Amino acid sequence: SLDYRSTLSRLTGLLVPRMADWCAVHLEEQSADDMPIMHVDPTKIEVLRAIYGRYPLAKDSPRGFPRVVRTGEPSFMSEVAPGYLATVVSDSEQLALVCAIGTVSRIIVPLAIQGNVFGALTLAYSVSDRRYGEGDLALASEVARRAAVAIDNAKLYELSQNERSRVEAATRAKDEFVAMVSHELRTPLNAILGWLRLRREGLL
C-alpha cells in the first residue's frame, strides 16, 4: 500500500499470531492512540494502549523501545523473569496493566533507513508457551528492515502527493490572480479607449 498506516496495520495483522501474541509499532511522531497495536486477544489491545498512553517512556529511557530508537540496537529477552515487571513500573495501576498483558518473552528491533532510526517494532509472547530464540531475533530484524523500507516509500509518496497538491493550489491561485487583474485592468482601459476613439474621430 502507498499509505503507510495501511502498511503498518497489515504488518501487525501478519505478525500476530504467527510471530507474536502481541506486537506494537512505535514511530517517533505517533501518539499511543495512533500506534499500530495487535493482540491475539482483541480486548487486550486497549490495555496495551493504556500502558503506552498513561505511562510513556522518556526518549532517554535506558530500557524499552526508546533505548532501541536511540541506539539502533535491538533488545532481546528470551525469558522475562517473573519479578522483572515489578522493577520497571511506577505504581500499582501500571503494574496491574502490565500483569494483565503478562509478557513472558520479548524482542524490540529498530526501524531504520540508511542508519537513520525512526521507530521500533516490539514483538512479544504472553498467553502462549512460546519463547524467542536467536533465530527469531534475526528474523524480526529482517522483518523490521523490510517494514522500514515500505514505510519510507509510503511516506515519500505521501510527501510527493502533498507537494503536488501544493503546487497545483499555487498554480490555481496564480491563474485566478491573473484573471482578476486582467478583468480589473480591462474595465477602465475599455473606457479610455472609447474616449480616445471618439476624440480621434472628432466626435467630442
Write out pLDDT tens, residues 63-73.
899 999 999 99
Task: Check residue 1 and give its pLDDT.
Answer: 62
The yes-or-no verdict on residue 183 having pLDDT over 70 is no
* pLDDT, average across residues 58-62: 89
For residue 127, report the phi and psi dihedrals to the nearest 5 degrees: -90, -15
Question: How many other C-beta atoms are found inside a 10 Å radius of the C-beta of residue 26?
Answer: 24
Task: Check residue 164 and give its pLDDT.
Answer: 74
Burial environment of residue 100 by CB neighbours within 10 A (0 to 12, 13 to 18, 19 or more): middle
For residue 62, cis peptide bond before it (omega within 30 degrees of 0):
no
Which residue has better confidence, 101 or 187? Answer: 101
**Predicted TM-score (pTM) of this structure:** 0.74
